[in-house]
Chains A and B, each alone.
Chain A
Amino acid sequence: MEHKVIGKSVERWDAIAKVTGRANYTGDIPQKELLYGKICRAKIAHGRVKNMDISEALKVPGVVKILTPDDVPEISFPTAGHPYSLDPKFADVADRRILTRNVRLYGDEIAAVIAESELAAEIAVSKIKVEYEEYEFYLTPEEALKEGAVEIHEGTKNIIADTTLEIGDLDSGFKEADIIIEDICATPIVQHCQMENQIAYAYKDVDNRWVCVSSTQIPHIVRRVLGQAFGMPWGRFRVIKPFIGGGFGNKQDIVVEPLAVAMSMAVGGKAVMLDLHREEVFAWTRVRHAISYKIKMGFTNDGIITALDIDAISNNGAYASHGHSIVSKGSGIVTAIYKVPNYRYRGRTVYTNTAAAGAMRAYGTPQITYALETFMNKFSIMTGIDQFELRAKNFTKVNDENPVLHMTQHSMSLRECLDKGRQIFNWDEKRKSIDESKDSDFVRGLGMAAFAYTSGAYPKTMEIAGCRLVLNQDGSIKMMMGATEIGQGADTVFSQMVADTVGIPFEWVIADAVTDTDIAPFDTGAYASRQTFVSGMAVKKAAVELKEKILEASYHFSKKTNKVTVDDMDIVDGNIIQKHDGQIIESLGDLALKTYYNMHEGHCLTADVSNRCTKNAYPYGVTLAEVEVDKKTGKVEVLSILNVHDSGKIINPLLASGQVEGGMAQGLGYGLSEELKYDEKTGKPLNNNLLDYKMPTFMDIPDLGVSFVEIDDPVGPYGNKSLGEPPLCSPAPALRNAIIDALGIYVKDIPVTPQKIIEALSENREV
């Protein structure tokens, strides 16, 4: 199908507002008599609040009220940004209170101050006196699982879930193997570092309902969880999302909203703002799960996988949040990329006294991809089988059914991605040049890694999306989405879909700067790279419906004077035309005026679609990397890095390459520098700030290569598959593999920091 707007790098609709500073984020919207909230955080890592004395804090000038756990509902609620589960068996774990006496991590939320200024609130927080009963604390799952460990949540033995999935016959799979590799590896706790901190404010509206304005990826889910947290009908809450300064999954969770509302409720509905500091966002919102893997993998001499046994332990931190779904996701990712006839995947998700781990870009996939691709690399080194060929031999194929997700794969161009990558990266020339170079203190190496991902969350959860289109009086179209623009450009891409499908210029589609649960159609929000795929289906359906209505109306109004049939009508560049000769019947604006104002038949043309998606499509890709390592200092320089993606049809190439570059930079940080660390003596986070936590700066990111293999996916609404999360799945293992290629020594875990390199070199660990 020929596209006029899809596939074009149109300018994102909000770019000018953002580049001039006119785009309003949550903290930019003025409120009358705004009050400020600050959280009093526990100074121990595990225990109970025995006593709290707020008398001195109350004397601080400007303090309006102090909330303790006695002042908020005694209701436990879930926080994950998942769709509601009608089956209680699959409901999210409800282990969170708005404020708590049970301290489960250093910094847990034990009280909150409401004051006339942020400063007064901070001073008051410092004057709250707390007496604790302290328990032993655990920073790793291994410690939390030891015999006799104190339960972080009563009755759990510190295990959120422990599941094992088996396919085929593992024992016979290992018997068939010529070569078996066994090893362990681990990934770190990392943080999203979206530039806008978590922030929300709440007030009582003119209709006596509670409004929460929040920087969230999931407005409709926030509304539901507020209802759950307060034990009130969900319709009593309204959630509004203005422009949002990034999320990456950190804001796919309910963190600040219930407390913001509780604070407003405590002061008669006045507006109260809860604006977290960067240090709080790092340590006390959400992080990525650190997962350790014990893996046994069997291959034939030719490199065909015969059996794979994975035992994954996931550090979920102090609260369940997204919980077991993260480590579970890995099980189906393995079988999306490689054929594994005999397979066991055990996943355990464990409470510890560290930051609650939730959703983060690519949802468990960077972890499993790291583990899997270091093993593929190891086998390639052991046998000398070419890295690319080894992987390609084991790839799944079109029409294969994923035995874990039970979804058929409709397109798979990973082989093409490998070939394209190898060629444009000049892999073979680089290989030759490296092999011929003489030993010195600076050594170069090559590494690669492939990945699979999913488009949306079906069939793990239901998938529903909404789109409402209204034909305006001048022929422009108002587009209302429940899906959430969080910086990725979703609204621009949806607008392209509408323009392309209806047949109007891109500029005629009007998007929303705000998502408001009172107005926006229901959609579960921005996560799982679901929006262009799942919400895109709703957009397409609505656009097709509106176009039909427009053509029928035009036919109806003009049939007396024009003999053309609806089948011979189309809309091109905003004009209704006769298909057979291209002649313009009327402009869309003229038709719109008639539909609005005809004395006898006037009506506004709309399409309001709520679409359930029961499909998934697997996007794929590969990272190729070349590094130079300084053997004296352990410093790694990334000389070149390339991502090649199979995401089906690319809707907006400029936005798409921006997604890939951003994801690659995050993957680079994941592989080389980022890790949230804790003090083993106190359980206190050590580097919860942007100085000590090594998120890549401008100087750390080399030129990034981006390429696509564009083959339409048959189920994607416009041939497209997901792209938002995939780019960060494979850079970390590719970089790690390049480093060990350079050094000829073994480095197990990421981030591969200079310290780890120097340690490995001094021990001369063999690959």
Chain B
Amino acid sequence: MLKTINCTINGKVMELQVDVRESLLDMLRNRLHLTGTKQGCGVGECGACAVLIDGQTLDSCIYLAVWADGKDVVTIEGLTGTDGSLSDLQQNFVDKGAIQCGFCTPGFVVSATALLDKKPNPTKAEIRRGLSGNLCRCTGYTKILDAVEATAEQRRNK
């Protein structure tokens, strides 16, 4: 069964026809070709599909597309400047070496963006807890922590 939803995706108002069984992740990837959002498990365990829904980090693989009706959705593509410029957090992921295979990276950037919005001065423990819904097998999380800490510090010093 198809249903029409209205939502904002990366700042763009959209009217979309979606299958009521479809996940938001499938809608983003298959209908809108926003393939920066990845699927690592499909059941909300790994965080590779994290997106912002009304500012909250959620795993889009276990969020139905129809639930996005009336919502404001931001994906990794929406965190990058329209001119292609990186956010300060993205730049720190690059500078601190927080990226290896890169498959978890969009999800981490999304989750860490929301974390820093809520907690501009997080402790190490708060960063670890706040990002514990995102799994990474390449980095040992160390340089991701460095990137988030560096971003918070730079914002403090601005």
Contact = CB atoms under 8 A, between A and B. Distances in A.
A599 interface: no
Nearest to A663: B140
A488 B137 CA distance: 12
Nearest to A693: B45
Given A19-B90, A691-B45, A698 B141 contact: yes
A223 to B, nearest CB: 23
A393 interface: no
A210 to B, nearest CB: 25
Given A21-B105, A28-B29, A196-B103, 19 more contacts: A19-B94, A21-B36, A23-B102, A24-B35, A28-B35, A194-B137, A195-B135, A196-B38, A246-B138, A278-B40, A278-B41, A487-B103, A489-B100, A664-B140, A689-B43, A690-B41, A690-B46, A698-B136, A699-B129
A14 B105 CA distance: 12
B104 interface: yes
A661 B140 contact: yes
Nearest to A655: B97
A277 B39 CA distance: 10
A191 to B, nearest CB: 10
A25 B35 CA distance: 9
B135 A16 contact: no
A704 B29 CA distance: 36
A21 B106 contact: yes
A486 interface: yes
A9 B128 contact: no
Contacts of A14: 102
A25 B103 contact: yes
A245 B109 CA distance: 16
Interface in B14-28: 21
A38 to B, nearest CB: 13
B94 A248 contact: no
Contacts of A21: 34-37, 75-77, 80, 105-106
B71 interface: no
A738 B93 CA distance: 33
A60 B90 CA distance: 45
B128 A119 contact: no
Main secondary structure of the interface of B (DSSP, over half): loop
Interface in A1-38: 9, 11-12, 14-25, 27-28, 30
Nearest to A652: B97
A661 B143 contact: yes
A17 B101 CA distance: 11
A616 interface: no
A22 B135 CA distance: 20
A654 B97 contact: yes
Interface of B: 21, 29, 33-43, 45-46, 48, 75-77, 80, 84, 86, 90, 93-95, 97, 99-106, 109, 127-129, 131-132, 134-145
B135 A695 contact: yes
Given A20-B76, A487-B101, A15 B46 contact: no
Given A14-B102, A196-B40, A278-B45, A19 B97 contact: no
A697 B140 contact: no
Interface in A669-724: 689-691, 695, 697-699, 701, 703-704
B137 A193 contact: yes
A493 to B, nearest CB: 13
Nearest to A11: B94
Interface in A441-455: none
A195 B104 contact: yes
A187 B93 CA distance: 35
12 contacts: A18-B105, A19-B86, A19-B94, A20-B86, A22-B36, A195-B40, A195-B103, A195-B138, A248-B137, A657-B97, A665-B140, A704-B140
A409 interface: no
Given A16-B94, A19-B109, A657-B97, A697 B132 contact: yes
B41 to A, nearest CB: 4
Contacts of A195: 38, 40, 46, 48, 101, 103-104, 135-138
Interface centre among B33, B75, B102 (most CB of A within 10 A): B102
A689 B99 contact: no
A409 B136 CA distance: 35
